[in-house]
Amino acid sequence: MKRRPLILFSLLALVFTLGLVGCSRTIDDVAKWKAKGNIEKLIKALADPKTEVRQSAAEALGELKAEPAIDALAALFNDPEEGVVLAAVDALAAIGTEATTSPMIAALKLDQTQARNTAAVTLGKLKATGAVEPLCEALDDSEESVRNAAAVSLGQIGDEAASKALVKKLSSGSDELRLNCAQSLASTGGEVAADGLVGALADSSGAVRKAAVKSLVEIGTISTPYALEGLKNDQEQVRSGSIAVIKGLKAIPLTGAHAIWYSLAKISVDNTDTIDPATVEKLIKMTGETDTMLEACAHSVADFREHASRALEAIGESCTADAVKAAEATAGADGEAWFKNRSAWKGAPSWRLDLWGALTAMNPDFDLDGAKVAHMQAQGRPAFTVIVAPEFKPTREYIPLLISLLGDTTKPPPEQPDYDADGVPVVKKAIDRFRGEANQQMAMNKLNAAGDTAIYPLLAAIEDEDELIAGHAAEILGELGEKRALGPVIRVVTQKLAAGEQLTTSPFYNALQKLDDPSGEPLLLKIRPNPDRAMHVFERLNPGTRAMSADTKDDTGHYSQPIAFDIGYIVDGRVDREEIKFMKDGSGDWKPIPKDR
C-alpha cells in the first residue's frame, strides 16, 4: 500500500512530459504558419530552443517580407548558431524596407563574412544615405567580397560624402576593387572624385583606366579643370585619358594656355619621335602665351620641350628676355652653370644663343658628362674618341662643343730626324698622326644629324670670327636647307665681296647656292661660278634636264676670265653632254654666254 502514491506520481509526471512534448514547435509548424501568414507565431518561434525552428522561422518571415518582425530578426544577430544569424540577415534583406537600414548597418560588424556581404549589398539597394559612413569603413573589411560590395553600394547610394573614401581605394587593393570604386565615383561625384579619377587614368589595369574616363565624363563639367590639368601630367596614360575626357565633355580648348597643353598632350601620345610641324605652327600663332611655352620647355616630357622650343625659336628675339629669366629661375645646377658659360660659345654674343641656351638649360633631364666635356674641349684625338663612339648622341647640351670642333686644326708634330746633332741615330718615339680635319668632318656629321636642335647655335656661328667654324656652320645649314640662314649668309658674303675676296670655293658661296632662294641670286651672280653653280644654272636654262656632272674646261685660273663647263646630264632617260660658258658682264655679273656666241 505504501508504494501506490509513488506510482501515481510517476504516471502524472509522464503524462505532463508527454503533454509538453506534444506542444513543442517543429519545422512543420513553421511551414503551416508561413502558409497561413501567421507572422505572430513565426516571431515567437524565433525564440524557440531548437536551432532548426529558429532558422526556419527567420527564413519564413523573410519570404513573407514581414516588417513587424524586423526587431526580432535583428535580435538573432547574437544567436550562437551561424545558420540562424545568416537566416536573420537574409530575412531582413528580403524585407528590404527603410526600417531595415539600422539592423543592416549593424550587420556590417558581424563575424560572418556572408552576413557582412549581404548587409553591404542590401544597403546599396536601399540607397541608404545613413549607411554611407559605415560602408566607407567597410571598404577596409578583411574580406575582398565585402570591400567590393561596399564600393558598389556606395555608388548606388550616390552620396558625395563617399567620394573621399572611394578615391583612397583607387591607389590600393585588387583590380576589381579599384574598378568598382572608379565606377561608383561617377555617382558620388564632386571635385574630390574628379581629382582622384584623373590619377586613376594611370592605373595598371586597362579596365580601371577606361572606367575612370567614363566616370569623369559622367560627372560632367566639374571634371573639366581636372582633365585639363591632367594634360600636363608626366605619365602618358594620364595625358591620353585626359584627352579622351575632354573630348567626351566636348570641352576642347581652342585658345589660351589650355589650348597649348592640349596640343602638346595630343602630340605626346601619338607614339612618334618626330616633330609635328602643324603643332609647332599652332604654337607660334599663340604669341601671347610665351609663359606657358616656357613652362613646357621645363617639362619632363620631351615632346613638350621640343615642340615648345621650336615654337619659341621661331618667335625669335622678342621672347629672349623672358626665356633667360625663366632659365635663371628654373634651371638645375648643371644647366645653370652651362648656360652662364655661353659667352664662350662660337658666335657669342648673340640673342640666338641666349634664347637657345635658356630653353636648353631648363630641361629637367639636362645631362652633361664631365669627362666627355673635358675630352671634347681638348680637341684632337681625345675629342674624336668621344664623338665617334656609337653611344654618343648630339644632344642639345653638346652642340656648342661640336661647333667648336668644326675649327679643330690639330696637326701631327714635325717628323723626327734620323740622327741627332752628333750624328747618333735617334730612337724615334711613336707619333700620333691625328689631324683636326677628322674632327671637323665628324662634327659636321653629328650636327647634321642633330637637325633642327642645332639650328640656332649654327646660325650664330656663321658670323663667328673663326673663318673655319663659320664656313662649316654655313655649309651645314645649307645642307639642311635652313632658310633662316639666308640673312647671316648674305651678310657674310656681302662683306667678303666688298673686301674683294674671291669666293668661288668658299663654303659661304656653296651654302648660298644650296639655300636656293631668289634673295641670294644677286650675290651669286657676283661670284665666278663653280661646278655646282654651273649645273644649277644649266638645269634652270634647260627645264626637264638633270645635271649629273660639271667638268671645268680651259680654266686659266684667272678669277676675271670666262670659264666653261662640260655638263653631263640626263633628259628623257637619255645621257648627254653639253658645254656652258660663263662670262663677267659690265655690271660684274657672271652670266652664261648664249650658244651662238
What pLDDT does residue 427 have?
A: 76
What pLDDT does residue 555 have?
A: 62
Give the pLDDT mean for 229-257.
97
How far, in Å, CA of 290 to CA of 323, rounded? Answer: 9
At position 439, the amino acid (one-letter code) is N
What pLDDT does residue 558 have?
A: 75
Could you read off the pLDDT of 116-134 as tens digits, one per residue? 999 999 999 999 999 999 9
What pLDDT does residue 14 have?
A: 36
How far, in Å, CA of 83 to CA of 56, rounded? Answer: 10
Segment among 56-60, 227-231, 585-589 with least mean pLDDT: 585-589
Could you read off the pLDDT of 430-467 as tens digits, one per residue? 778 899 999 999 999 999 999 999 999 999 999 999 99
Strand 563-571 relative to strand 546-553, pairing: antiparallel
Give the pLDDT mean for 493-497.
95
Statement: residue 423 has pLDDT above 90: no
What pLDDT does residue 424 have?
A: 80
At position 522, the amino acid (one-letter code) is P
- Model confidence at 353, pLDDT cuts 50, 70, 90, reads very high
Segment among 23-32, 60-69, 436-445, 569-578 with least mean pLDDT: 23-32
- Between CA 250 and CA 255, with CA 253 as vertex, the angle to 5 degrees is 150
Q: Give one DSSP letter per residue of 398-452, joined into a string.
A: GHHHHHHHTT----PPPPPPSB-TTSPBP-PPP-----HHHHHHHHHHHHHHHGG
Statement: residue 210 has pLDDT above 70: yes
Mean pLDDT (the chain) is 92
| Cβ–Cβ under 8 Å, residues 490 and 526 | no
Could you read off the pLDDT of 512-560 as tens digits, one per residue? 999 999 999 999 999 999 999 999 999 999 999 999 999 987 666 677 8
Could you read off the pLDDT of 569-594 as tens digits, one per residue? 999 989 999 999 999 999 999 999 87
What pLDDT does residue 309 have?
A: 96
Largest Cα separation within the chain, whole Å, is: 173
How far, in Å, CA of 525 to CA of 491, rounded? Answer: 15
Percentage of the residues of the chain whose pLDDT score is greater than 70: 95
Statement: residue 5 has pLDDT above 70: no
What pLDDT does residue 496 have?
A: 95
Q: pTM of the predicted model, to two decimals?
A: 0.82
What pLDDT does residue 10 have?
A: 42
How far, in Å, CA of 450 to CA of 471, rounded? Answer: 18
What pLDDT does residue 273 have?
A: 75
| Cβ–Cβ under 8 Å, residues 89 and 107 | yes
Give the pLDDT mean for 291-303.
96
What pLDDT does residue 554 have?
A: 63
Angle between helices 190-200 and 236-248 (to 10 degrees): 130
